[in-house]
Structure 1
Amino acid sequence: MILTRYNVPDLTPDEMESLSSLRRLVEDLWDEDEDKAGSNQARMHMDDGTLLRFAQSRPTIEAAAEMYRESMTWREEVNIDEIHDRHYPISNRSRAAQVAGQTFYGTILTPPNHPPIMFDRMGALDMSGIAKEKGMDDAICECYTAYLEETFRQARAFPGGRGRALVVVDLKGLSMSHISNIGLIKRIAAIGPPRYPETTGCVAIIRGPWVLSAIWKVISPILPANTRAKIKIMGKNFLAELADGMMPADQIPTFLGGTCWVGENDPSNVASTILEKSSKVIPGSYARAQAEDAVAAAPTEHVSFSSSAPPPAPGSEDYVIEPTDIADVDMAEVPEGKIHFRGHRNSIAVAKELAQSPAPQFTAPPAPPATNDGSAK
């Protein structure tokens, strides 16, 4: 059984031989009568394009087959489809996932006739703020996993089966705080290589400060050799380098000095254009978001809410931000009160609203009245 949707039309003789050998080593996973670990995912990923990625990512076909089996098993164990669907489209995200996504800064662009372009704003991560929010590191790793899965799906569906994403890693803001909390960065960096082989074609690192070399020494050993070979560290002229054949010049985002407003095709992504000036985790916002998610999931007939939020102060009327002004907003100057992005719903607005109001309180339903014999009805 072969999936024609993702077949590669221009295979070389060496590639055809590699695919044939790899298929023989993993074909047992595709047998509909078999129920082996990873089989369900393998049946959805038996196409030429996907198998070729695995075959090209390891020095031997045997190693590629082992990687394929482990990847398909991992996909089933973590339920990757459910993780993806919790985050994409972004409007599906829960309150807690929105707050975690706010701090991740991952964006995917899909220009016409061009493989996906990923923008990782690693330098903007508020590492110390994340460390203070219990469970937020796990949520960010899930956001990143969904982000990789979405990129993989777009690259896999690219015409010709050879789609490879361009990854632009913006390190502006990188500091000693990142080194102090290097554990989270290592967790993030270790998610992709063993599960999403040959999904990226080039990794362009821009605006790297002096600590870049120290972090690179920690990260590089855990990356495969072929991944390290794709990394290109750019200097001050990175805009010209990016526009010189790497990506369409009109797709360079405004936060890098380009003209593309990242959020115009996905309104829920507009956070990435204002976080240049407001990149700190709002204390308590993640816990409050989790509380709201828990309340939303509880049966409504058994839950009541109480709130002791003070009335808004005079002059704290709703603050409306037009989409055309989004890139110029300094969140520190926004007055108290609810924030509205006209026509949009934004994770920053969610986080600030959560921080300005107390978490909803759960009230247990009243006990049923007792009968004459003392038992409850």
Structure 2
Amino acid sequence: MGGGNQEAIKQLQSLMENVDDEQLKNTFQNMHQGYPTETLIRFLKARDWNVAKAHKMLIDCLKWRVENEIDKVLVKPIPADLYRAIRDSQLMGMSGYSKEGLPVVAVGVGLSTYDKASDKYYIQSHIQMNEYRDRVVLPKATKKHGRYIGTCLKVLDMTGLKFSALNQLRLLTAISTIDDLNYPEKTDTYYIVNAPYIFSACWKVVKPLLQERTRRKIQVLQGCGKEELLKVMDYASLPHFCRKEDSKSSKHNASGNTENCFSFNHVFHQQLYNHIKQQAIIMESISPIRQGSFYVDIPEPDPDDAKIAKTIETELHKLENHNGFNNSLNGVAVNGH
């Protein structure tokens, strides 16, 4: 790390030491989990080492956490039947660890339907997974390996990606905005697998809009990516949809399958859900938990991110119209190789 970067860290540390609001200080402690410098570096990276911008981003994040009671999100369980429905329609889980000890997070982008619950529950569940990762999973990995581990790997399965993704774009943009502004630089590498034509077409127009540091993190792999992924993780940590060349292995309809890391019955989701239930019981014994829905203010997206979302929407509309025109002529579907 260069001298300029070290100076930026010192300046941001000095600015944070001047924060006198107790609520902001408390939520910052809960956020950094004993690694404040590493947390400052994440926000500096997200703002290209501009101290003033990183400071504003971090203060805005802390205010968002306080105003939305994010520190209490892990004591607010979603009812079990609803949580199971969310897991069947918001495909996300943790399949294991990389050879370097980083958690491997799997996301079923193409087959997620987000149609079994209201948006607020999908957002609540997503934030709970973020907080559980940051407060439980990463600290355990750090302790196990005797060195700081603050990021994860993400494997994004594009199987089943369709034009209907347009219907989910608003919710996905909201979730992405929450991640970008409040959980920056938490992913080391994004691996894209099982990419159909529709992804390739969108990627072609989105890639030039991404910042260089983001582009460097994204790797689009051949097929299910098994061969490349085995270089960074053991077979046991491969997401289920990467274990066979047949893309249909991504199907998630076997909700009782404990090998499927999206499933409510998978060990990760059982541990996460039980952790939240236990924390709720402990909190209830101290003071009654306020009942009711968990609402989160969605921050305004970064202008660059908003532009990317608009570009994806435009490209999907173009592809959808082109596909419809082709179908009306000769019944040929879009090539999904």
Both proteins in one fold, TM over 0.5: yes
Distance 1:223 1:178 in 2: 20
Q: What are structure 1's unaligned runs of at least 5 residues? A: 1-10, 259-273, 281-320, 328-340, 347-377
2:83 is equivalent to residue 108 of structure 1: no
- Which AA in structure 2 matches 1:53? R
Query: What is the aligned partner in structure 2 of residue 63 from structure 1?
Result: 53
2:121 is equivalent to residue 139 of structure 1: yes
Q: Compute the displacement of 1:279 (Å).
A: 8.1
Aligned length: 251
Distance 1:139 1:222 in 2: 31
Structure 1 contact 123–171 (Cα < 8 Å) conserved: yes
After TM superposition, list the pairs within 5 Å mapping 1:86-97 onto structure 2: 86=76, 94-97=80-83
Query: What is the aligned partner in structure 2 of residue 52 from structure 1?
Result: 41
2:164 is equivalent to residue 186 of structure 1: no
Distance 2:240 2:76 in 1: 28
- Which AA in structure 1 matches 2:47? R
Distance 2:60 2:92 in 1: 26
2:196 is equivalent to residue 206 of structure 1: no
Query: What is the aligned partner in structure 2 of residue 98 from structure 1?
Result: 84
* Sequence identity (%): 23
SS of residue matched to 2:189: strand
Distance of aligned partners of 1:139 and 1:13 in 2 relative to their CA distance in 1, 3 Å threshold: same
Query: What is the aligned partner in structure 2 of residue 310 from structure 1?
Result: none
**TM-score, with length taken from structure 2:** 0.63
Question: Whose helix fraction is larger, Structure 1's or Structure 2's?
Answer: 2
Q: Compute the displacement of 1:276 (Å).
A: 1.8
Query: What is the aligned partner in structure 2 of residue 300 from structure 1?
Result: none
SS of residue matched to 1:203: strand
Query: What is the aligned partner in structure 2 of residue 120 from structure 1?
Result: 107
SS of residue matched to 2:159: coil
- Which AA in structure 2 matches 1:117? V
Q: Could you give the per-residue CA deviations for residues 245-303 of structure 1, whole angstroms, max 9, x where no partner exists? A: x2223311333216xxxxxxxxxxxxxxx9825289xxxxxxxxxxxxxxxxxxxxxxx
Distance 2:186 2:27 in 1: 17
Distance 1:55 1:197 in 2: 10
Structure 1 contact 40–76 (Cα < 8 Å) conserved: no
Q: Compute the displacement of 1:220 (Å).
A: 6.5
Query: What is the aligned partner in structure 1 of residue 131 from structure 2?
Result: 149
Q: Compute the displacement of 1:229 (Å).
A: 2.9
Structure 2 contact 225–242 (Cα < 8 Å) conserved: no
Query: What is the aligned partner in structure 2 of residue 288 from structure 1?
Result: none
Q: Could you give the per-residue CA deviations for residues 316-358 of structure 1, whole angstroms, max 9, x where no partner exists? A: xxxxx7x78x77xxxxxxxxxxxxx8x9x98xxxxxxxxxxxx
After TM superposition, list the pairs within 5 Å mapping 1:1-377 onto structure 2: 13-29=3-19, 31=20, 34-35=21-22, 38-44=24-30, 45=32, 47-59=36-48, 60-86=50-76, 94-111=80-97, 114-127=101-114, 130=115, 136-153=118-135, 154-155=137-138, 158=142, 159-216=146-203, 225-236=212-223, 238-244=225-231, 246-257=232-243, 276-278=251-253
Q: Could you give the per-residue CA deviations for residues 92-151 of structure 1, whole angstroms, max 9, x where no partner exists? A: 754323322331121124438511111011111125xx1xx5x52221122112222223
Q: Compute the displacement of 1:163 (Å).
A: 2.9
Structure 2 contact 96–237 (Cα < 8 Å) conserved: no
Distance 1:141 1:220 in 2: 26
Structure 1 contact 189–219 (Cα < 8 Å) conserved: no
SS of residue matched to 2:182: coil
Aligned-residue CA RMSD in angstroms?
Answer: 3.5
Distance of aligned partners of 1:162 and 1:22 in 2 relative to their CA distance in 1, 3 Å threshold: farther
Structure 2 contact 24–66 (Cα < 8 Å) conserved: yes
Q: Compute the displacement of 1:183 (Å).
A: 1.8
Structure 1 contact 83–146 (Cα < 8 Å) conserved: yes
Distance 1:19 1:232 in 2: 30
- Which AA in structure 2 matches 1:27? E
Higher relative contact order, structure no. (Cα contacts within 8 Å, ≥ 6 residues apart): 2
Q: What are structure 2's unaligned runs of at least 5 residues? A: 271-337
